[in-house]
Amino acid sequence: MSAEERFTAKPIKRILLKISGESFCPPSERGISMDSVNRLASQIARVASRGTQIAVVMGGGNILRGAQFKASDGASAIQEATAHYMGMLATVINGSALHDALESQGRPTRLMTAIQMDAVAEPYIRRRALRHLEKGRVVVLAGGMGTPFVTTDTAAAQRALELEVDYLFKATKVDGVYSADPNKDPSAVFYPQLTFEDAISQNLRVMDQEAFAKCRDHNMPVLVFNFRIDGNLDRAVRGERVGTLICD
Ligand code: UDP
């Protein structure tokens, strides 16, 4: 059965949801708006309360990305690796906010970090994360992979494989994958479904290349969808066609 048939044929048991930091603030702002976080949390809580197991990989771009400190003329006082660690810490700040927002909506949640910080969160241990998921707890994964020079997209692909999820859901601010940026090019064509090879041959940017290659190599289906539209996550989990599905 193809991933497309699976998508509509059987209920989705477990997903990995990748949330970019930019979902945590209004468009073109930075930082954390608890309105935005609460809206996201209520979508996640709604789906979790119906029995879908959810692990969330949290981004940090609303606070900082390591690459922004890369000075081409060598003028930055912050080493590039240090900047990436700062980015990972940003994901922990976001993860903490999402943790509390989910719990305040009555949804049992665990925050786990790839960089050990005992006073803040549990360390990420795969089997423990699986146990939390089986018990119906939302698992928020922060700190990315715990290593510099990669993004949280790569962490999302890696954890999706480790946690044996049915789909990697990538939440974005547009409706899915287009032939060009729909905000800049009104003739951009929307793709409801693509194969991994289509996306590569047409040079479509779905997620960072390392992450995308991991999903392709292990046949992990990816659904790219617009998280700003309330109810989209719920619709997608129920098998309605939302966003762009990328599978073999
Ligand atoms: N980061 C890292 N290693 C990881 C994950 C993240 O070094 O495993 C750093 C990297 O600098 C990245 C930043 O953390 O730019 C924030 O993550 P990302 O840019 O993926 O956040 P998003 O764009 O999803 O909000």
- For ligand 1, the distance from its centroid to the CA atom of residue 227, given in whole angstroms, is 19
Q: Which residue has the tokens 């905000």?
A: 183
- Determine the pLDDT at residue 28: 86
pLDDT tens track for 31-73 = 999 999 999 999 999 999 999 999 999 999 999 998 888 776 5
pTM: 0.94
pLDDT tens track for 199-213 = 988 889 889 999 999
Q: Is 149 helix (H, G, I), strand (E, B) or coil?
A: coil
Ordered structural domains, the chain, with CATH: 3-246 (3.40.1160.10)
Distance set, CA 198 to CA 18, 49, 191, 203, 248 (Å)? 22, 35, 10, 8, 10
Pocket residues: Cβ below 6 A from ligand 1: 20-22, 59-61, 65-67, 84, 87-88, 90-91, 144-145, 147-148, 150-153, 155
How large a percentage of the chain has pLDDT more than 90? 81
